[in-house]
Structures are given as structure tokens and as C-alpha cells.
Structure 1
Amino acid sequence: MDNALFSRRRAERFAQLLDEANGGRRHHVRSRDDDQLTPLVMLGQRLGVEPPAAQVDPEFRTGLRAMLVATAVREGMGAAPTAAPAPQKATFGRGALLPAVTARRARARGAILVGIAGGAIALSGISAASENAVPGDALYGMKRGTERAQLALTSSEISRGQLFLDFARTRLVEASSMRDDRAGYRAVLDDMDADTRQGVRLLTGAAAQRSDPAALNAVDAFVTRQRRSLGAIVDTNPRADRARTSQSLSLLDSVALRADALRATITCGRQATTASDDLGPTPGTCP
């Protein structure tokens, strides 16, 4: 079976059913797909009358809009109308069917875009539901996928660095719920430390490149908050893996020292050295 043809026929029939549901001309045909398409038509009507109240992430909305615009441009939808052709004699046969076929295809494309938008809204709802997921939950993969999508939509080095530090805070929240699972706890802290290094490297690199210590303020705030949260985990749970927690605390100490040294280098007018490590550029020496 030609899957492309089959999908196109379903889309065209879906467009017809939407037209009929909205008071358009009835098509005296019946498709074996009608039973499957009827719930989608009802969903489309419901979305039109009662738009979902779920809040869509602004970055997700921007990416979706770009995708829909690109699809519309590629398919020629919304193009400027051309000059009307000169009247021609009425013809019969295949040529007379072209306007009707073109109209059906336009409705089918519109139905496909409606389906994409509806699916995106549903995915945004699933994404919101996955925010509290922890390793082992069914939605945890969706949560991490959403984080990767956020990074893909962010071009600024400073914004990406701040996102990584936000993810490190999220990993710490997840770890606090897994304190009795030592293996899971260590794995989440490994991910947390990896996100910390990524974020710090981007922010210290931006500060050194711009000779502006402003980006280091986000690092300082992150270290202060993470230290407090990690200490609370150890203080409130005697069974917590103290050895593994101390490794993350040592990393935060190294991050704080790097931020202070790099700030001093920038303040005294020296450039950071060309050498770098997992925390970014190493500071120069001030006189």
C-alpha cells in the first residue's frame, strides 16, 4: 500500500469532515476511516470552542511557530495572490477538476497543520506533567528531552550556561528524593556535577572573552544555593551517601575559587590565559 497516498486520503477526508462539522457543504461519501477520524473532528471542535488553558513554554511556542511558518512557506500557503488569468472557455474532463482538487489539497494541508498544532499542545501538556519526574519514572525521558530542546533553542553562551546551572539545581531536587537509593543518588549527582561543569565553563568563558565579570554573578549565586541545599540533604538524612555528597561539595569549592580568581584577573586588567580545564579558562596573574 502507498503510505503517502493513504495518508493524503485520510487528511483530505479529515478536512471534509471538519468542513461538515462547521456547517460547510456535506459530502455524500463515506470512508472506512470515518470511525477513526470522528473523535479527531470532535477534538478539533472542542479546541475551537474551549481552547486549552495549559500554559505553553515561551521557547516551545517560538519553536513551534517557526516550524509552522516554515511548513506554510514550503507548501505555498499564505503566498501573495497573483494576477487573475484571462477568462477561458469552459472545458470538461481532467482540467475542470483541477480547482476542486487544489481546494481539497489546501484543506488537507490546513488539517495537517491543525493536527500538528494539536499534537504540539498535547506534547506541551505532557512536558509540563514531566517536570516533577525523577529517574525511573515513565516521563523522566520526556523531561530530559525537553531540557535538550531548550538548549537547542538557545544560542547565547551566557543563556546556555545559566540553563545548565538550572539543570544542575533540578538534578539536586531529584537527588533529594532518592537519598535512600544509594546507586540512584550517586548517578543523579554525577549528572548534576556534569551540568555544573558545563554551565560554569560557558559562563567563565563568556566572562573572559568579554573581559566582563558580570557573567560570574550567576556562578556565585548558584554556588551559594547549591551548597546550602547539599548541606541540608546530609543534615536531614543520616543515611545519605556522605562520601559522594562531599565530592559535589568539593566541586562547588573549586567553582567558587575559579570565579573569584577570574574576577580578580578581569578587574586588574589582565587577560585570562589560553589554557583551560573543565571549569573554563584559567585565570592570569595580577601584579
Structure 2
Amino acid sequence: MDNALFARRRAERFAQLLDEANGARRHHLRSRVDDQLTPLVALGRQLNTRPPAAEVDQEFRASLRAMLLATAAREGIGAPAAQPAERTSTGRGSLLPAVTARRARARGAILVGIAAGAIAVSGISAASENAVPGDALYSMKRGTERAQLALTSSDISRGQLFLEFSRTRLAEANSLRGNRAGYRAVLDDMDADTRQGVRLLTGAAAQRSDPAALDAVDAFVSRQRRALDPLTERGSRADQERTSKSLALLASVAERADALRAAIACGRPATTASDDLGPIPGSCP
């Protein structure tokens, strides 16, 4: 029990140090394991800023994709749910569908968990990294993103993840030009991820009265605008209008970040009100 408690505290301290290295508010307390964790924190920062380029053999990619597709088909992942059986006089008919559904969810959760754990160490993400809505592996790609969020504890790290997912949605939208319904749906998801990420980061900045978290917002807006601008001249008129809405959201995000940064500087980081972009900055005298 003591070893388990020590391991948990060590993991929590490591997560705290990583968050501080990524711009979170620093704590004045020190732990006796800080010296041991410092090299790991430095390595984490290095991997975060300069991720290694993984080269995956084409034969391995093809065989892995085939294996994942076969597993998805065997486990029924992505298939429509079966209609519940009619209730019998003993009530057994109403119980079996519930048990079956729980088993199916458990199998799906196990598969996603295995995939999420293997992605970090074996390059399995190469099999689904280019998947777009409609592909058989797209649900695994989104499941991996949910697993990443579940394993992230701080608001700053979660906010940065949501903004990274928004960039991924933009790449998917770029490949769906001409598919009006698919293009608009992906941009809707992209904007939802943008709002989630911005709300978490602006909330962290206002709570800590520290504008460091806003640097990630500024960098995201600049990069996302450069990638989104060319799409305003492509596709149908409806696609262009939908792209303009996403650009307008980025303009609102940039305006909110600037206003919140100014409010923090004058000591009024936020009012009691908030909206889909997070806390509304207070007025400076």
C-alpha cells in the first residue's frame, strides 16, 4: 500500500511539473523526488516541442490496417445497434439486450484502451492518422483523441489538446472539399474543439491571473488562419460561406485573448460572466 501511494504521489508530482513547464502557474513547494523527475520533465518538453518523426514501413502499415479493420468487424464496432428483443413474461428478454450492450461497450472500451496505449510506443497512429469521416478507422482515430483527453489532468494541457484536435479537423476538411455535408460537419467539429480549447485556456489564465496560457491561443489562431484562409476561395459558395464562419470565430478568439491579456495586466482578469470562449474580461479603468 505504501509503495502504491508513493507511486501515485510521484506520478501526480510529475504531471504537476509537466504542467508548470507548459506554462501553468508554478508552485513554491518542492518534493524530494523533484531531482529525479527533472530529467524526465526536460525529455517531455523536448518531445512536445520537437516530436520524433516516425517512419512506418508501408507493408507494416497495410497489415496493421487490415488487422484493425478485421477486429472492428469482428467486435461490431461502428455497426448499428441491434433492436431490443421483445419483453417476455419472465423479463429475460429485457435483461439480455442490456447485458449484451454492456459487453459490447466493454469490448469497445478495451479495444480503444489497447489502441491508445500502443499508439505512444509503436506508431499505430500511422494506420488511422489519415482517416476522414466515412472511413472505417475514423472512429478509432476519434476514440484515441478521447483517450488522450481522459489521461490529461490539467485544464491547460486539455485546452492545448483540444486546439490540436481542431487543427486535425481542419486537415480533414481540406480533404473533404466537394462533399458538402461532410465538409460542413467537420468544420462544425473543428469549431467545437476550438471553443473547448479556448475556454479552458482563457479560464486558466483568468483564474491564475497569468497570461502565459494565452500564448498557446495566439499561436493557434495564427497557424489556423494561415491554413483556413485558402479554403475561402475553394469549393461551392455554401462551402466558402461556411469557411468564413470559422474565420469569424478565430477573429473572436483573437479579440478575446487580447482583451483578457489587457485585463490581467490592469488587475481585472474577468467578470462573473462567461460565454462559449470562457470568462469575459473585466473593464480596465
Aligned to 1:241: 239
Aligned to 1:158: 156
User: How far off is 1:224 after superposition?
Assistant: 1.0
Q: Which amino acid aligns with 1:226?
A: Q
CA gap of 1:177–1:149, structure 2 versus 1, over 3 A, is same
Aligned to 2:138: 140
Aligned to 1:188: 186
CA gap of 1:277–1:239, structure 2 versus 1, over 3 A, is closer
Aligned to 1:176: 174
Counterpart-to-counterpart distance in 1, 2:117 and 2:129: 17
Residue correspondence of structure 1 range 21-100 to structure 2 within 5 A: none
Q: Which amino acid aligns with 2:167?
A: R
User: How far off is 1:269 after superposition?
Assistant: 1.4
User: How far off is 1:223 after superposition?
Assistant: 0.8
Describe the superposition over 1:26-59 as per-residue Cα deviations: whole angstroms up to 9, x where unpaired: xxxxxxxxxxxxxxxxxxxxxxxxxxx97xxxxx
Aligned to 1:205: 203
Structure 1 contact 133–140 (Cα < 8 Å) conserved: yes
CA gap of 1:265–1:121, structure 2 versus 1, over 3 A, is closer
Gaps of 5+ in 2: 1-54, 57-112
Structure 1 contact 197–278 (Cα < 8 Å) conserved: yes
Structure 1 contact 271–284 (Cα < 8 Å) conserved: yes
Aligned to 1:214: 212
SS in 2 for 1:215: helix
Select which of 278, 282, 285 maps to 1:284.
282
Residue correspondence of structure 1 range 253-264 to structure 2 within 5 A: 253-264=251-262
Describe the superposition over 1:158-217 as per-residue Cα deviations: whole angstroms up to 9, x where unpaired: 000000000000000000000110110000000000000000000000000000001001
Gaps of 5+ in 1: 1-52, 55-115
Q: Which amino acid aligns with 1:284?
A: G
Structure 2 contact 232–244 (Cα < 8 Å) conserved: no
Describe the superposition over 1:107-151 as per-residue Cα deviations: whole angstroms up to 9, x where unpaired: xxxxxxxxx989965996544311111001110000000000000
CA gap of 1:262–1:250, structure 2 versus 1, over 3 A, is same
Superposition misfits of 4+ residues, deviation over 2 angstroms = 116-128, 234-240
Aligned to 1:20: none
CA gap of 1:238–1:276, structure 2 versus 1, over 3 A, is same
Counterpart-to-counterpart distance in 2, 1:264 and 1:119: 40
Counterpart-to-counterpart distance in 2, 1:271 and 1:122: 39
CA gap of 1:261–1:118, structure 2 versus 1, over 3 A, is closer
Aligned to 2:165: 167
Select which of 226, 229, 248 maps to 1:228.
226
User: How far off is 1:239 after superposition?
Assistant: 6.3
SS in 2 for 1:269: coil
User: How far off is 1:234 after superposition?
Assistant: 2.4
Counterpart-to-counterpart distance in 2, 1:190 and 1:253: 16
Report which of the two structures shows the higher radius of gyration computed on alpha carbons. 1
The size of the alignment, in residue pairs, is 175
User: How far off is 1:228 after superposition?
Assistant: 1.3
SS in 1 for 2:267: coil
Aligned to 1:84: none
Counterpart-to-counterpart distance in 2, 1:118 and 1:202: 27
What is the percentage of aligned positions where both structures have the same residue? 76
CA gap of 1:175–1:161, structure 2 versus 1, over 3 A, is same
User: How far off is 1:230 after superposition?
Assistant: 1.0
